[in-house]
């Protein structure tokens, strides 16, 4: 039998290493996340915590995993498909393990959020350094089209990473005590992170960060001090206009490209069309997890490693039922969380991030990408662990 205290200490210790290894690249980050997920699985089995897996809210997850399994068994790309099936299952274990077992103590939530908030601010400062000088603190240069990468060397992902880690910063700022010297600068930190995301020139991350602001303001409008809101809104507009005048040339080019050029020649539409054609090949169980990269070249010359849309990737790779089952899984867990928790501010965070992490109306990464999806489930598990924001 696993002792509860020993499990808590070891599991939380491993969780604290995740953001550290995250800075070193995907290899160690993925390795540690796999170790954590396996550790959680062993804990569930040895302590007979089967009630977690057998809850009614998980019925859609069960059928989703069943179709994933059948799709992998009958796929022409079995090794790749089973690899992604295992990766998805481990990410789900990480998600459940965080908010059911590991992060039950508010002190742990605050400590973890503080650690990751520091990492977020380091990445943001490094981005501005790279933008102004052309190199980051380690000497990594800007990439093609002056894209910023910060500590991620040649990977153009810092905007996406900052957005996925933003729940930790928001929680830490909201839980900060008034006696804390930094309390008066909470909104300054928020603006700094938002404009750092815009600075990266990553369209999807910039759109999602803006939508998050709109969602949170709209849902909490009645609770907002209107005079303060007007003041902060004016400050935001001034900063926004100043940013685009002095720092936002690359971001403006990306925005222009998105809303002008791609309206007439949007390559993503070709990816989506290919996905719909491929889904007809095996509408029940698809062609195998992450098989788009192999199947698409057979029918088109305009392809990518994935269709850049979560739901369409599920449709192509695993059949017509899986997008519906996945959405039902998200919705049932969302309502379960909302029913348990009656804190309105927290519920707006939970709803906003659940929607935006899997937002289907803009280009996305791969649903089965271990690095990005592990980060997504890690952050979502943290959000669902929060009991109150008061």
* Sequence-ordered list of residues with C-beta below 8 angstroms from that of 141, at least 6 positions apart, any chain: 130, 134, 135
Residue 253 pLDDT > 70: no
Percentage of the residues of the chain whose pLDDT score is greater than 90? 46
Residue with tokens 């849309």: 309
Among 163, 242, 256, 142, smallest CA distance to 207 is for 163
Q: How much is the mean pLDDT over the chain?
A: 86
Cα–Cα distance between 253 and 368 in angstroms, integer? 30
For the segment 319-366, what is each residue's pLDDT rounded down to a tens digit?
999 999 999 999 999 999 998 887 888 899 999 999 999 998 888 888
CA distance 130 to 135: 4
Prediction pTM value: 0.91
Instruction: Annotate 63-127 with DSSP letters as a single string.
Output: HHHHHHHHHHHT-S-HHHHHHHHHHHHHHHHHHHIIIIIIS-SHHHHHHHHHHHHHHHHHHHHHH
Task: Note the maximum CA span of the chain.
Answer: 63
Q: Which of 337, 300, 384 is nearest to 104 (CA)?
A: 384
Of 211, 108, 116, 168, nearest to 383 (Cα)?
168
What is the per-residue pLDDT across 193-237, written as a single tens digit (0 to 9) for each? Answer: 998 998 888 888 999 999 999 999 888 888 777 777 788 778 778
- Looking at the DSSP bridge assignments, the partners of residue 141 are 135
Per-residue pLDDT, 241: 76
Distance CA 296, CA 110 (A): 45
Per mean pLDDT, which range of 16-20, 46-50, 358-362 is the poorest? 46-50
CA distances to 31, 72, 86 from 83, rounded to whole Å, are 14, 9, 5
């Amino acid at each position: 039998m696993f002792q509860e205290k020993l499990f808590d200490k070891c599991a939380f210790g491993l969780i604290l290493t995740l953001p550290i290894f995250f800075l070193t690249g995907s290899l160690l980050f993925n390795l540690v996340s796999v170790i954590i997920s396996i550790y959680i699985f062993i804990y569930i089995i040895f302590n007979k915590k089967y009630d977690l897996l057998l809850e009614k809210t998980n019925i859609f997850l069960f059928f989703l995993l069943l179709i994933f399994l059948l799709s992998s068994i009958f796929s022409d790309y079995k090794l790749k498909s089973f690899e992604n099936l295992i990766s998805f299952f481990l990410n789900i274990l990480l998600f459940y393990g965080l908010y059911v077992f590991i992060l039950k103590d508010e002190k742990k939530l605050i400590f973890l959020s503080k650690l990751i908030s520091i990492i977020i601010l380091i990445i943001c400062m490094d981005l501005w350094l790279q933008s102004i000088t052309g190199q980051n603190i380690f000497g990594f240069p800007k990439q093609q089209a002056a894209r910023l990468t910060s500590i991620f060397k040649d990977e153009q992902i810092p905007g996406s990473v900052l957005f996925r880690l933003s729940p930790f910063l928001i929680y830490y700022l909201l839980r900060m005590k008034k006696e804390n010297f930094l309390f008066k600068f909470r909104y300054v930190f928020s603006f700094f992170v938002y404009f750092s995301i815009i600075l990266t020139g990553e369209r999807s991350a910039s759109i999602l960060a803006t939508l998050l602001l709109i969602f949170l303001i709209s849902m909490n409008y009645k609770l907002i001090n209107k005079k303060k809101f007007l003041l902060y809104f004016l400050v935001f507009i001034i900063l926004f206009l100043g940013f685009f005048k002095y720092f936002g040339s690359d971001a403006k080019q990306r925005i222009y490209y998105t809303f002008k050029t791609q309206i007439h020649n949007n390559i993503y539409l070709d990816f989506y069309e290919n996905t719909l054609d491929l889904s007809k090949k095996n509408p029940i169980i698809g062609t195998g997890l992450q098989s788009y990269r192999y199947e698409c070249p057979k029918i088109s010359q305009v392809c990518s490693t994935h269709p850049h849309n979560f739901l369409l990737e599920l449709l192509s790779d695993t059949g017509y039922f899986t997008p519906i089952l996945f959405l039902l899984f998200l919705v049932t867990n969302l309502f379960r969380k909302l029913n348990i928790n009656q804190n309105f501010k927290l519920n707006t965070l939970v709803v906003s991030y659940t929607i935006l992490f899997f937002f289907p109306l803009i280009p996305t990464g791969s649903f089965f990408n271990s690095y990005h999806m592990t980060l997504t489930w890690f952050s979502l598990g943290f959000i669902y662990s929060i009991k109150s924001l008061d």
